Structure 1
Amino acid sequence: MHKVVIGALVLAALAGCAGSKMKEARAGSPYKTLASDKTTLVVAQCIQFGWQDESVFGVDAGGFKEPTEAGGFTVYTTGGDYFADVQSTGAGSTVKYYAAEDNMPAKRRLAALATCL
């Protein structure tokens, strides 16, 4: 029972940290903005699944999906260093991808995301 409570507290703390990082990143420009003719849910689920691939991302594999107030989804990694806002645009969607820095992990996550469009 205690492990469940501790696990929930750790996740809440991580979400708070990730949330502030993501808010700061959104104040600037996205790393990349992409378009898709697929619905927001299909794109977001695909990104989440792709980012959880341990064969590509190793111990950093992790993808979480949450609905946004605007009706789309945010898919993000454990620390919030990489995340994508998926919003509805007409019949399709727009994906704004944010990365903490321009490095190989950022490019790998972008490549995985691009396969979902």
Structure 2
Amino acid sequence: MRAIVPMAAALMLLGCASSTMDAARGTAPTAQLKSQKAAELVAQCIQFSWQDEAVFGVDASGYLQPRKSGGLTVYTREAESFADIYPQDGGTRVDYYAQTADTTALRRRAAAATCL
């Protein structure tokens, strides 16, 4: 019973984040980045960099999940920022989305760029 409550809460948050991400994907990404590295390595690096409490404080979060249509997504709580990572032409394309253009979003974009 104790395990059911946290699991249900996580699924509800994922549902909210998913609808926010789907809506954002209907628009152009905030930034589009490219890398010669493998998509999995780029995604893991972005996830790790977004979890850095020294940079993001209490907002440090990064969750990684595969996309149904291929590729991977790294996202924050409530999908305030997220990155879709796709294998492309022997490298990787990163579509970065941010709900707001605040300092935290710019830091997340910069952190993602260091993973290229």
TM-score class, shorter-chain normalisation, is over 0.9
Identity across matched positions, percent: 47
Number of matched pairs: 116
1:70, distance to aligned residue in structure 2 (A): 3.2
- Structure 1 partner of 2:112: 113
TM-score by length of 2: 0.96
TM-score by length of 1: 0.96
1:83, distance to aligned residue in structure 2 (A): 0.2
- Structure 2 partner of 1:89: 88
- Structure 2 partner of 1:72: 71
- Structure 1 partner of 2:56: 57
- Structure 2 partner of 1:42: 41
- Structure 2 partner of 1:98: 97
In 2: Cα distance, 1:112 partner to 1:26 partner: 21
Long gaps (5+) in structure 2:
none
- Structure 2 partner of 1:23: 22
In 2: Cα distance, 1:61 partner to 1:42 partner: 20
Long gaps (5+) in structure 1:
none
CA deviations on 1:5-62 (whole Å, 9 max, x unpaired) are 1111110110000000000000011000010000100000000000011111111111
- Structure 2 partner of 1:14: 13
Question: Aligned partner of 1:63: which letter?
Answer: G
In 1: Cα distance, 2:8 partner to 2:66 partner: 21
